[in-house]
Chains A and B, each alone.
Chain A
């Protein structure tokens, strides 16, 4: 039975989802949020360093320079029309957040403070100490509360309702009370975030299991640039907790076991402020060639002084003391590359619309694409806000002009039957070892550097894991807070995404941004591969296709830092 019907239903309630909800509400639509965790628990809140907009508060800056840096950072795979939209709208969108009460750090004359970030030509990253994402999630949730926008909290979205070739709602498992619930909607916006849980040693939360990407894939929407997984240069061993790029923005050094600032050999001009793909490769090379320390390099903050660390990098200090046993005031922090951000995702246009009518995607789960082959630090939060706003407006306008919603009985019945089959299964394997093998093999075979033979092997491993998943069993048969069930469903999503990523990586026979093949294709090949990969599932088998990159002002150039 259909629980409720809305004009706009947003799956995921992080920065992108909440920003979309606010915009859709203000456009007059009946909007609701649906999320498997409470909105303020969303992983947007773990973003630390800041949000990029050419405010020009710290030095001369312009949206054009922001766009150029982003295009170059993307290794020319970003769509330039989308990038120009992002950079042009960013300043006003940041002022809007400030007017809502975001607690930004301030300059001496009381304006929003901005710090230097990797591969940016100007100090462009507006910040709130090192808890920028936290501050933005809370200010957006305050605005959601103000507008009394309803939220289906702790509802796990499991299926999209397709009817009449349109997406008309979501079927979700209610975690607190149990049971499948169908929620009808004229438009559905996917804003579920990334899929970092594909890897061990990830900065991503347990919640980041690529749900929205898999939901879209299952209704035939192509995923774009799925081979492009960003490895963040500064994560803590062993679990991958994020240490912000803001450390390097404030002046921290990266050292190898000889105590050398090794980036002088890789990015002699930008040094620690080169782009993330460049630094992650440099670190991995140092570690592989025996100049690491216990599989790490060192992030040295000591020369910044206690006062600066306490004021601007307080959270970083707390994290490294808790998880690494290191107080950065006295000792350098051991760090290494860890999976961090999926540049790829659901293929959308610049309004977030997918190939299915009524279905939108935004934020990390989408690929619009502003990040191309490598995202710049601080651009992800900006994307969630600017494109969240745009998608919310477009979905609301479309919903208000179109009237019907129908969730066919058969869709609900099929979902019930499928779920019952999973819960009734008594013989088989519990999901955790499949999950662990997936994450460690992706790390091993589809990581910072990629080899043909390893990628092929990974393809076979993923296929084997998908077969084992067919016989997966759930221990908990109960209704109340059954995360045993939802974790099993999440693993199903992850496996399909891994199956999509590997062939895209094999097909892209070049090195571009995060996709580095130093052993067989060490160079970028603009002749053949200045284009996006698109992947769909046909009878459970991934099919790779291509899509041109949109170019406006900037032609590809050699990329050095």
Chain B
């Protein structure tokens, strides 16, 4: 059972302190200001910002709208990690005595306080040509027939609310601001994976460009910080797999990945000595001979002969066949995973409660929002 449930709304108040990085774009002044408020115990970070703006300082700037995790307005950082303010309940933080630091999202220019300029974000989204290209002359009279299984391939990518939290946290973008970034690439996968879209090869060629999918460093910060479970890094991995399947493997990153696969199905271990020539080419490999001999001497890589074959290489080969057999639908792994999780975690044997609801008549309702 999930243990990270926030407490049910009660009727008590709590003292909450936080520090906010204020920024004035006109004067360029920056200041870390501390605020203390008393608030109902159910409040989120967004509610606290509202209280500060109402009762302490009307000049505080931040975006908000739906306050139910769907509009994507209120992305910001808490203690250096991107969050949706409306999703972040403050009870545990306040009770622990911690005073969190709130700041604007990363990798985007700050305009005022917690408001960033989203234009660079949208530029990258638009660059993906993010609209369905069904390649038809005349659409069918009714809907396209597509199975639920095929739609599930893009289930996670379609959840994206474009809040920018993943872009804020992207380490690749921090070193290369031109990197397409996790949100745009997830949007790209939303079309590459769509059974109705006919432009997947053109798209994949485009996404394999410089600053494209192979520039992701696989730090997984985007997956970790995405408030909606989109898992953009997984989308980038799927784009890589689709690219190679379509023979788009000119990038060094693609070649590198391919050699890992070859190693897995042949020897079960990574064949490091062949990795460099396969990825970077013979010329580059010769240049690195001295380095390779150094590694060999210190036992960092095994000698190429005899081949280093894993003891249970058949397992590795079976795994290879399974992934190949699943094809694109294998990408539905996450959705399948959720189903599997549902079955494992929530069966009656695992203790699903079926008793009547526990009720407590006569208890006063919590105060209305104010």
Contacts and interface: CB of A to CB of B under 8 A. Distances in A.
Interface of A: 37-38, 40-43, 45-46, 55, 94-95, 98-101, 103-106, 108-113, 128, 131, 133-135, 138-139, 142-143, 145-146, 176, 200-201, 205-207, 237-242, 255, 257, 259, 290-296, 298, 300, 302, 305-307, 309-311, 314-315, 318-319, 321-327, 329-332, 334, 430, 432, 436, 439-440, 443, 474-476, 478-484
Contact of B58 (A113, A241, A322, A475): A475
A475 B368 contact: no
B130 A322 contact: no
Interface string B334-357: 000011011101110000111011
A40 B118 CA distance: 13
Contacts of B357: 255, 259, 293, 298, 300, 331-332
A101 B194 contact: yes
B370 A436 contact: yes
A205 B131 CA distance: 27
Interface stretch (B153-161, B205-213, B252-260): B153-161
Contacts of A315: 70
Given A42-B71, A310-B338, A95 B143 contact: yes
A438 B339 CA distance: 46
A374 B46 CA distance: 32
Contact of A475 (B59, B73, B87): B59
Given A306-B342, A332-B357, A98 B70 contact: no
B252 to A, nearest CB: 32
Give the contact-size bracket for chain B.
35 or more
B298 interface: no
A151 to B, nearest CB: 10
A476 B59 contact: yes
A239 to B, nearest CB: 5
A43 B147 contact: no
A516 B352 CA distance: 40
Contacts of A479: 26
A294 B368 contact: no
Given A239-B369, A432-B54, A480-B112, A145 B158 contact: no
Contact of B131 (A145, A255, A290, A300): A145
Interface in B55-76: 55, 57-59, 61, 63-73
B184 to A, nearest CB: 12
Contacts of A311: 338-339
Interface string B7-27: 111000000000000001110
B245 interface: no
A436 B40 CA distance: 15
A238 B369 contact: yes
28 contacts: A37-B65, A42-B71, A45-B70, A95-B139, A95-B142, A103-B194, A104-B151, A105-B148, A106-B151, A110-B146, A131-B159, A143-B131, A200-B369, A205-B67, A238-B367, A239-B67, A294-B365, A294-B366, A306-B342, A306-B347, A307-B339, A311-B338, A311-B339, A322-B87, A325-B5, A478-B24, A478-B26, A483-B53
B354 A302 contact: yes
Contacts of A100: 131-132
Interface of B: 1-2, 5-9, 24-26, 40, 42, 53-55, 57-59, 61, 63-73, 87, 89, 111-113, 115, 117-118, 125-126, 130-132, 134, 139-148, 151, 154-155, 158-162, 191, 194, 196-197, 338-339, 341-343, 345-347, 352-354, 356-357, 359-361, 363-370
Contact of A46 (B58, B68, B196): B68
Given A302-B354, A307-B342, A201 B72 contact: no
Contacts of B126: 145
Given A45-B66, A478-B26, A294 B139 contact: no
Given A42-B71, A43-B65, A322-B89, A259 B359 contact: yes
A19 B100 CA distance: 42
A315 B159 CA distance: 10
Contacts of A480: 25-26, 61, 111-112
Contacts, number: 250
A356 B341 CA distance: 57
A19 to B, nearest CB: 15
A240 B162 CA distance: 24
A296 B158 CA distance: 33
A142 B132 contact: yes
A242 B68 CA distance: 8
Given A201-B369, A206-B64, A484 B359 contact: no
Nearest to A101: B132
A334 B158 CA distance: 29
Contact of A440 (B57, B87, B346, B368): B368
A296 B5 contact: no
A425 to B, nearest CB: 13
Contacts of A242: 68
A21 to B, nearest CB: 14
A294 B70 contact: no
Given A475-B57, A480-B25, A103 B66 contact: no
B109 to A, nearest CB: 11
A91 to B, nearest CB: 8
A330 B70 contact: no
A293 B361 contact: yes
Contact of B6 (A131, A145, A325, A481): A325
A41 B72 contact: yes
Contact of A484 (B53, B73, B191): B53
Given A105-B151, A302-B353, A480-B26, A293 B359 contact: yes
Given A143-B131, A306-B347, 16 more contacts: A37-B73, A99-B134, A101-B132, A104-B143, A105-B151, A106-B147, A106-B151, A112-B143, A133-B70, A145-B125, A295-B365, A300-B357, A310-B338, A432-B55, A478-B26, A482-B61
Contact of A131 (B70, B145, B154, B191): B70
B144 A331 contact: no
Contacts of B9: 237-238, 323-325
A89 B73 CA distance: 33
A15 to B, nearest CB: 13
A146 B131 contact: yes
Contacts of A133: 70
A436 B54 CA distance: 11
B352 A306 contact: yes
A55 B58 CA distance: 50
B366 A237 contact: yes
A113 B172 CA distance: 40
B59 A103 contact: no
B353 A330 contact: yes
A484 B58 contact: yes
A318 B226 CA distance: 14
Contacts of A476: 58-59
Given A101-B132, A298-B357, A481-B111, A43 B66 contact: yes
Given A42-B71, A319-B68, A330-B1, A324 B359 contact: no
Nearest to A437: B370
B139 A440 contact: no
A27 to B, nearest CB: 19
B67 A109 contact: no
Nearest to A94: B143
A296 to B, nearest CB: 7
